Amino acid sequence: MAVDYTTRDGIAVITLNNPPVNGLGFSTRLGIVEGLEKAQADASVSAIVIIGAGKAFSGGADITEFNTPKATQEPTLHTVIKVVEGSAKPVVAAIHSVAMGGGLELALGAHYRVASAGAQIALPEVKLGILPGAGGTQRLPRAVGLETALNMIVSGAPVMSEKLAGTGLFDHMAQGDLLDEAVKFAQKVGAQSGPHPKVRDRKIEHPNAEGFIQFARNGVTPLAKNFPAPLKCIDAVEAGVKLGFDKGVAVERECFVALVQTPESRALRHAFFGERAASKIPDVPSSTPVRKIERVGVIGAGTMGGGIAMNFVNAGLPVTLLETKQEALERGLATIRKNYESAVKKGRLTAEKLEERMALITPTLAYEDLKEADLIIEAVFEELGVKEQVFSKLDQVAKKGAILASNTSTLDVNKIAAFTKRPEDVVGMHFFSPANVMKLLEVVRGAKTSKDVLATVMQLAKKIKKTAVVSGVCDGFIGNRMIEQYLRQALFMLEEGALPAQVDRAVEKFGFAMGPFRMSDLAGNDIGWAIRKRRYQEKPDLKYSKIADRLCETGRFGQKTGAGWYDYKAGDRTAHPSKIVDEMIVAYSKEQGVTRRKISDDEIVERLVLALVNEGALILEEGIASKASDIDMVYLTGYGFPLYRGGPMLYADTVGLYNVERAMRKYAAQTNGEAWKPAARVTELAAEGRGFNS
Ligand code: 3H9
């Protein structure tokens, strides 16, 4: 049963019992109404308490029901709240841990609310591309005031219950057992004669409501950009202020119905579930035991190693940081300190915390000092010989059961594991630069990596607030393997007729944080050059435009040399289109016998994104990623793919795989067509009328 019904000292207790978060799916909604009817019919009951079992009062409407018949099957949440509000016997919501979305809306429909401290109170619908659709935009301003409510609704951010204690939201803050106090409170109000207060009957008090709403709209408009929900939230609240509760609810309803169908909402819900799904590995059950990680070792105090160390220190885990030379160690520590100091300057960290964090780092030059570490991550030079030295050494010094991780972005984790006598303890942990900032962590599963090592690393990733995605072993893993095809297309297009600024502009307009050429200039064009040189050896038949090599031969490595695809002024990262480079590109086309043509922005976007999609499909076919949403999470959290499009694989689903395949065949007929052979997975799904995520 999703809802339990009991009575206690003359009070009916309706307990939401729908783990994990008491989502208000159909059976829960039905259970609440049945409980309320039972309580009305029982003459010995004077009042009703609604409480949540487990780790939440309620996390809100069941998001998995959206756009399915169950979402609108009666009793809808609207009906439930109407029954609660219309109850002749007073209803008390008893809130602990989490009251979010529809959960908070349900509580707002009750006549009284009792809460424990430490509960997260939120209307987070906007983060799913929708707005509160069960009266939240109307009742919350009447409970906590217009300004607080609008901030909560537009940001979706949780506020702790104790912070709202002085508002009209809570009638009593429980100091002891929540149920005991809620029952006592219910007995008291049950003894009073009705009618009992309804939030809907309160007024929205504000000295200049219209002015404040306009102020909020002006602030939100530039931030909301590609997300329609935030402005709709304001519209709904405004309707309530100007037209009253019932008309406000009608506007809210209209906005909800429209928003829930939008691609932006679909993308945001996809990302919500994708993030949670990424931590689930098909053959590693959640019951898999995990190893204790109490001390971490990091080898290499360069930019990467330092950033990696900061993640653990931020989570309170002590780190032993190893370098080969004292000078490098000191430089690394100074960089870490500088990063923390900049956080202090911005007010994000206190000076005490800075010192506490620095004190968690033990610098060393001796491998023996790693013998206590439960996890050791190397971030040394990307060369197999260097990795061999490191892992052979680790095999000697690391304690039994320690996890040995490589931060490699390009090398074969199986080969690295084979440098030890314990390949089952070896795993890839591919952090993205800057490692203390970027959310993505690719966890590379070697052929022999044991399941408990994987389970441990996935759990640890949550602790250090990373989105971890498992990748099998292949060149470039998920992210870099796909980006290589994207970059190949970008270069082909330069050769065929586009210029760097046009390509970047088109793809940035599509929503990417940064186009391929600005990105290469930032990362360093020499990095791609080194990869291509390796490719020319390994895959001599694979076609590449040599235009980027030409650029590198002139020493234009990007921002670090003050010149790359763009020109840069000293101390300024602004990319200025370069006449020299543009002329070089045009000359190169001529040399290759290519007649340059006008390439449309649509073609640029289509070729870049579909290149990702086709490689993503191959990655799924080969089992490198276990599900399409994992690939999307990699692109959303590590490569600046626009969140409102949900990642390349969801984008392909939105376009439709039939159309995707047709576009690939069209490009296959053009120059460099070999890149466009549709992956078998694309063809199969297109034929079946399905998508990657269906
Ligand atoms: C809404 O209410 C609309 C109404 O206004 C109008 C209706 C007409 N539904 O995050 P966790 C699952 S919209 C379904 O790892 P935590 C989640 O997928 C809703 N499932 O735990 C995961 O499943 P699994 C507005 C949900 O303790 C499991 O619960 N509400 C829902 O770190 C554990 O989740 C929100 O947007 C849901 N509503 O955090 C709240 N919520 O185990 C969204 C969670 O299979 N939820 N699940 O992977 C959250 O912010 C967090 O989940 C919460 C718990 C803070 C509740």
Q: Which residues of 589-612 are buried (b: 16+ CB within 10 A; e: fewer)?
A: beeeeeeeeebeeebbbbbbbbbb
Q: What is the DSSP string of 297-308?
A: EEE--SHHHHHH
Does the 296-471 domain belong in CATH 3.40.390.10? no
Cα→Cα distances 111→134, 492, 523, Å:
16, 66, 58
Helix, strand, coil shares of the chain, percent, nearest 5, are 55, 10, 35
85, 125, 442, 603: the catalytic one is: 125
Q: How far apart are CA 490 and CA 283, in angstroms?
A: 38
Q: How far is the CA of 123 from the centre of ligand 1 (A)?
A: 12
Residue 403, beta-bridge partner list: 375
Q: Which fold has domain 3-259?
A: 2-enoyl-CoA Hydratase; Chain A, domain 1 (3.90.226)
CB distance 636 to 483 below 8 Å:
no
Burial of 4 (0-12, 13-18, 19+ CB in 10 A): middle
Q: How far apart are CA 290 and CA 279, in angstroms?
A: 14
Pocket probe for ligand 1: among 22, 28, 63, 120, the residue whose CB has the most ligand atoms within 8 Å is: 63
Nearest to 558 by CA among 583, 515, 523, 528: 523
Closest ligand 1 atom to residue 280 Cα is 48
Nearest to 16 by CA among 110, 86, 89, 135: 110
Burial of 171 (0-12, 13-18, 19+ CB in 10 A): middle
Closest ligand 1 atom to residue 100 Cα is 30
Q: How far is the CA of 54 from the centre of ligand 1 (A)?
A: 14
CB distance 612 to 486 below 8 Å:
yes
Q: What is the DSSP string of 471-495?
A: E-SSTTHHHHHHHHHHHHHHHHHHH
Closest ligand 1 atom to residue 61 Cα is 2
Residue 50, beta-bridge partner list: 14, 93
pLDDT at 534: 86
pLDDT tens for residues 580-622?
Answer: 999 999 999 999 999 999 999 999 999 999 999 999 999 999 9
Atom 28, ligand 1: which residue's CA is nearest? 20
Q: How far is the CA of 121 from the centre of ligand 1 (A)?
A: 13
Q: How far apart are CA 639 and CA 645, in angstroms?
A: 13
Helix (H, G, I), strand (E, B) or coil at 269: helix
pLDDT at 674: 77
Closest ligand 1 atom to residue 59 Cα is 56
Atom 46, ligand 1: which residue's CA is nearest? 59
Nearest to 373 by CA among 321, 446, 310, 428: 321
Closest ligand 1 atom to residue 276 Cα is 48
Gyration radius of the chain over CA positions = 29
pLDDT at 535: 86
Q: How far is the CA of 60 from the centre of ligand 1 (A)?
A: 7
Q: How far apart are CA 210 and CA 230, in angstroms?
A: 17
Q: What is the DSSP string of 581-604?
A: HHHHHHHHHHHTT-------HHHH
Q: How far apart are CA 411 and CA 298, in angstroms?
A: 18
Q: Is 105 a catalytic residue?
A: yes
Pocket probe for ligand 1: among 16, 18, 21, the residue whose CB has the most ligand atoms within 8 Å is: 21
Mention every residue, 6+ apart, whose C-beta is less than 8 A from residue 486.
Answer: 516, 608, 609, 611, 612
Does the 479-688 domain belong in CATH 1.10.1040.50? yes
Q: How far apart are CA 123 and CA 126, in angstroms?
A: 8
Q: What is the DSSP string of 417-461?
A: HTTSS-GGGEEEEEE-SSTTT--EEEEE--TT--HHHHHHHHHHH
Q: How far is the CA of 628 from the centre of ligand 1 (A)?
A: 21
Q: How far apart are CA 390 and CA 299, in angstroms?
A: 9
Nearest to 321 by CA among 399, 376, 395, 387: 376
Atom 47, ligand 1: which residue's CA is nearest? 21
Residue 335 token pair? 């960089």
Closest ligand 1 atom to residue 279 Cα is 48
CB distance 269 to 60 below 8 Å:
no
Q: Which residue has the tokens 């010995």?
A: 44
* CA-based torsion, 427, 433, 437, 440: positive or negative: negative
Ligand 1 binding pocket, CB closer than 6 Å: 20-21, 23, 56, 59-64, 77, 98, 100-102, 105, 124-125, 128, 132-134, 136, 273, 276
Per DSSP, 693 falls in state: T
Per DSSP, 76 falls in state: P
Q: How do beta strands 566-567 and 576-577 pair?
A: antiparallel
Q: How far is the CA of 59 from the centre of ligand 1 (A)?
A: 5
CB distance 265 to 343 below 8 Å:
no
Residue 578 token pair? 């370069």
Q: Structure pTM?
A: 0.94
Compute φ and ψ for 627, nearest 5 degrees.
-155, 155
Q: Is 85 a catalytic residue?
A: no
Q: How far apart are CA 245 and CA 202, in angstroms?
A: 9
* CA-based torsion, 134, 140, 142, 146: positive or negative: negative
Within its chain, how far is the Cα of 347 from the centroid?
24
Within its chain, how far is the Cα of 595 from the centroid?
43
Helix (H, G, I), strand (E, B) or coil at 47: strand
Q: How far apart are CA 411 and CA 424, in angstroms?
A: 18
Domain boundaries, the chain: 3-259, 296-471, 479-688
85, 105, 275, 615: the catalytic one is: 105
Element (H, E) at 468: strand 467-471
Q: How far apart are CA 531 and CA 533, in angstroms?
A: 5
Q: Which residues of 67-96 are buried (b: 16+ CB within 10 A; e: fewer)?
A: eeeebeeebbbbebbbbbbebebbbbbbbb
Atom 25, ligand 1: which residue's CA is nearest? 101
Compute φ and ψ for 281, nearest 5 degrees.
-105, 125
Alpha helix locations (H) across 203-325?
Answer: 209-224, 229-243, 245-259, 263-278, 303-314
Burial of 238 (0-12, 13-18, 19+ CB in 10 A): buried
**From the first residue on, what is the mean pLDDT of each consecutive set of 10 residues in the chain (694 residues)?**
95 97 97 98 98 98 92 96 98 98 98 98 98 98 97 98 96 98 98 94 94 96 94 98 97 97 96 96 96 98 96 98 97 96 96 97 98 97 94 97 96 97 98 95 98 98 98 96 95 96 98 95 90 88 91 95 95 94 97 96 98 98 97 97 97 97 92 84 96 93
pLDDT at 1: 81
Maximum CA extent, the chain? 93
CB distance 297 to 320 below 8 Å:
yes
Element (H, E) at 364: strand 361-364
Q: Which residue has the tokens 């297309």?
A: 489
Q: How far is the CA of 21 from the centre of ligand 1 (A)?
A: 6
CB distance 160 to 104 below 8 Å:
no
